[in-house]
Amino acid sequence: MNVLIVGANGQIGQHLVDELKNEGKHKPIALVRKEEQVEKFKEKGVEARLGDLEGTVTEIKESMHDVDAVVFAAGSGGSTGDDKTLLIDLDGAVKVIEATKASGIDRFIMISAFGADDRDRWSEDLKPYYVAKHFADMWLMDSSLNYTIVRPGMLENKESIGKVLVKDAITDTEVFSIPRIDVAKVIVSALDNEKTYHKFFDLVTGDDSIKNALNKL
């Protein structure tokens, strides 16, 4: 599959591009906001396209030619205000979902947030972010797309552990974190794993191999 990674210049997005490229089974296509980011990926031998999540659905759709699957890995970032959270993490995600449907693409993987499905688990200082993720996920689930929603725990810049815990809702573990690279590995494994189709799950470091964990869904 040709896999469009929305937000490819983000930390998980960059890991995802590298994992897909190294695996060789699927082709990564990076969707980024800036021309210099396009050039950076091209230097790595990765096709890159310009796209702005604050643009129109039609403009986003124009970046989706010859694409078989979409991964939403974009985010407004911790240094922006609630306005950007609304425009990128919610409306941007919804526009990408709408553009995916309009392009006739079926497969869609969303990187969400740990506990985004349960309001009782939202921290007060991150509530706008959780609201955005919650309703973007709901919009995706109500679409006709073949979705997988991945809700990783606290993201860490560590080397891959390669062992995970995957459940609809994780509340019974001492570990609530996961390396960003392992989130990318889970997404690569989930792309064409039918056990993950029309599924959503929390994701943290655990004891199972990624393949075994996903096959239990």
According to DSSP, residue 177 is labeled E
CA distance 12 to 4: 14
CA distance 217 to 207: 15
Q: Which residues contact 18 (CB under 8 A, 6 or more apart)?
A: 184
With tokens 């056990």, the residue in question is 195
| Active-site choice (129, 130, 147, 197) | 129
Break the chain down into helix, strand, coil percent, rounded to 5: 40, 25, 35
Q: Quote the tokens at residue 151.
A: 């809700």
According to DSSP, residue 91 is labeled I
DSSP bridge pairs for 171: none
Q: Is 203 exposed, middle or buried (0-12, 13-18, 19+ CB in 10 A)?
A: buried
Say whether 129 is catalytic.
yes
Task: Return the biggest CA–CA distance within the chain.
Answer: 45
Which amino acids are annotated catalytic?
129
